[in-house]
Amino acid sequence: MGKATGFLEYEREQGAVVPEKERIKNFKEFHGRLNIEKQREQAARCMACGVPFCQYGQMISGMASGCPLHNLVPETNDLVYMGNLEQAYRRLSKTHPLPEFTCRVCPALCEAACTCNLNGDPVSTKENEKAIIEAAFKEGWVQPIIPKVRSGKSVAVIGSGPSGLSAAVMLNRRGHNVTVYERSDRIGGLLRYGIPNMKLEKNVIDRRVALMEQEGVKFITGVNVGVDITAEELKKQYDAVVLCCGASNPRDINAPGRDAEGIYFAVDFLGKVTKALLDSDFENPPYELAKDKDVIVIGGGDTGNDCVGTVIRLGAKSVKQLEMMPCPPKERTANNPWPEWPKVLKTDYGQEEAIAVFGSDPRIYTTTVKEFIKDKKGKLKEAVLVKLKAQKDEKSGRMMMVPIEGSEEKVPCQLVLIAAGFLGSQKYLTDAFAVETDARSNIKTAAGEYASSVPGVFAAGDVRRGQSLVVWAIYEGREAARAVDKALMGY
């Protein structure tokens, strides 16, 4: 697809990015876009592979290679190259109900598996996708898809994150009456309160929600299912229930002084910042949360990076980002060949901003917090860091990261954000529906299936598979909708 010699003629080029010291002055998206002619050149780099791993989306060596949604990547690239963005949108929509989200927050599994990536830079599929969907909204190609015939069946979707929205879109298009329940004050779940505005502006969510409402989806906010309304009430009221509640049980840090004032779970902190911004129409950022504070972020993943970028915008005095594992290599190793997901060092926007502001990378590897130290008022004032080393556990035989005695270091710290991942679903919800869970407290289903142990109750997204990517959540929502539809209609 694309121009046969395009990958030889054109270098990879991306839209302009606002410089670090400028973009930290606000919470706006900072990735610009190429003009259509330049974007066509980028799409022309697609190589017409015999085996397009970009759309493969299956597991290789325990990690996904290519797009889990199986987007028809070479075909959409070809249509962008031809300048036919409307048809590109139609083609993208065959597999993807919510491309405006992944084109902003996905780590681009498609690009990691691109054949161009084998000996050069991958095709900019993520930016091509953004060009497609933004043109589609601008030109009015995105129109409400209202079913001509309703099935008479009703479905409750619990949770309005990416899996919930995906399931709701697809179930509504099949003619079912869909109601989405969200415990927060606004729709979006993780997209709204877990991902910072500079990464995903919230009007992008509002635009999609407004479209879904036109299509007939009903949204109810401020209702915590399992607390404000019982599972039994929902099961009586609806023909099926889909649990899309995320893996919202955060992993904690067990260390003396954990009860000090100034220690937050990352998702709670990010949500608090976003809510303050939205409530004030971005007029009053909550600077008091981080201004002039020494901040430690525990966790080296995407959420940890989001925390770094957020506290810098809130005026942090310093930022350290702790990672238990060693620093990854800068390039693929021999045991991590293409098209496997590249296990290499990635410097994301938050780290780039820290380097620009403070002069050094905030990440400290093989390190964790050994103790939190409080002042007389119970407020966090310092943290004791300790270096770690890999050591085989005698009982399990697994390699564990253990503290190195004598490596302790005391550092000033008034704010800690724990971004150490999630342990699974929240117990009150799974108890309310009496669904069976696995060893990691995720809702248990048969392999490749979405029906829980309770008839009429289905699960999708992180609540079923554990903490994962937005693109996987959208895939799960889509596939769960298929399973619900078949259960309700028999086909």
- pLDDT for the residue numbered 221: 98
Distance of CA 123 to the CA centre of its chain: 22
**pLDDT tens, position by position, 125-139:** 999 999 999 999 999
Does residue 68 register a pLDDT over 70? yes
- pLDDT for the residue numbered 465: 94
Does residue 107 register a pLDDT over 70? yes
CB 124 within 8 A of CB 97: no
**pLDDT tens, position by position, 113-124:** 999 998 899 999
| Least confident among 46-50, 64-68, 237-241 | 46-50
The closest of 313, 223, 321 to 277, measured between CA atoms, is: 313
Does residue 413 register a pLDDT over 80? yes
- Mean pLDDT confidence for 270-288: 98
- pLDDT for the residue numbered 34: 97
What whole-number distance in Å separates Cα of residue 453 and Cα of residue 19? Answer: 51
Please give the backbone phi and psi of residue 41, each rounded to the nearest 5 degrees, phi first: -60, -40
- pLDDT for the residue numbered 4: 87
Distance of CA 94 to the CA centre of its chain: 22
> CB-based contacts of 491: which residues, under 8 Å, 6+ apart?
none
Does residue 1 register a pLDDT over 60? no
Cis check for the bond before 339: say yes or no (omega within 30 of 0).
Answer: yes
- pLDDT for the residue numbered 164: 98
What whole-number distance in Å separates Cα of residue 64 and Cα of residue 340? Answer: 7
How much is the mean pLDDT over the chain?
96
- Mean pLDDT confidence for 224-242: 97
- pLDDT for the residue numbered 305: 97
Q: pLDDT category, 2, cuts 50, 70, 90?
A: low
75-78 long-range contacts (CB < 8 A, ≥24 apart) are 75/1, 76/128, 76/129, 76/132, 77/1, 77/2, 77/43, 77/46, 77/123, 77/125, 77/128, 78/1, 78/2, 78/43, 78/46
- pLDDT for the residue numbered 380: 98
For residue 130, CA distances in Å to 145, 151, 198, 469 come to: 21, 34, 16, 18
- pLDDT for the residue numbered 81: 97
- Mean pLDDT confidence for 6-13: 94
- Mean pLDDT confidence for 341-352: 96
The closest of 291, 286, 1, 259 to 128, measured between CA atoms, is: 1
Does residue 395 register a pLDDT over 90? no
Coil, strand or helix at 358 = helix
- Mean pLDDT confidence for 252-281: 97
- pLDDT for the residue numbered 359: 97
> Exposed, middle or buried, 390 (CB in 10 Å: 0-12/13-18/19+)?
exposed
Does residue 351 register a pLDDT over 90? yes
**The pairing of beta strand 409-412 with beta strand 63-65:** unpaired
- Mean pLDDT confidence for 327-351: 95
| Assigned token pair, 50 | 């015999």
What whole-number distance in Å separates Cα of residue 350 and Cα of residue 22? Answer: 13
- pLDDT for the residue numbered 48: 79
What whole-number distance in Å separates Cα of residue 137 and Cα of residue 206? Answer: 13
CB 122 within 8 A of CB 12: yes
Other beta carbons less than 10 A from residue 164's beta carbon? 31
- Mean pLDDT confidence for 454-469: 96
**pLDDT tens, position by position, 20-57:** 999 999 999 999 999 999 999 999 999 878 889 999 99
What whole-number distance in Å separates Cα of residue 186 and Cα of residue 413? Answer: 33
- Mean pLDDT confidence for 214-243: 98
Helices (H), 49-98: 73-81, 85-93
Residue tagged 């409402």 (tokens):
213
- Full set of structural domains in the chain with CATH: 6-139 (1.10.1060.10), 154-248+423-489 (3.50.50.60), 263-418 (3.50.50.60)
% of the chain residues with pLDDT over 70 = 100
Does residue 376 register a pLDDT over 80? yes
**pLDDT tens, position by position, 417-428:** 999 998 888 999
Q: pLDDT category, 140, cuts 50, 70, 90?
A: very high
The closest of 342, 361, 359, 340 to 350, measured between CA atoms, is: 361
Please give the backbone phi and psi of residue 252, each rounded to the nearest 5 degrees, phi first: -95, 170
Does residue 146 register a pLDDT over 80? yes
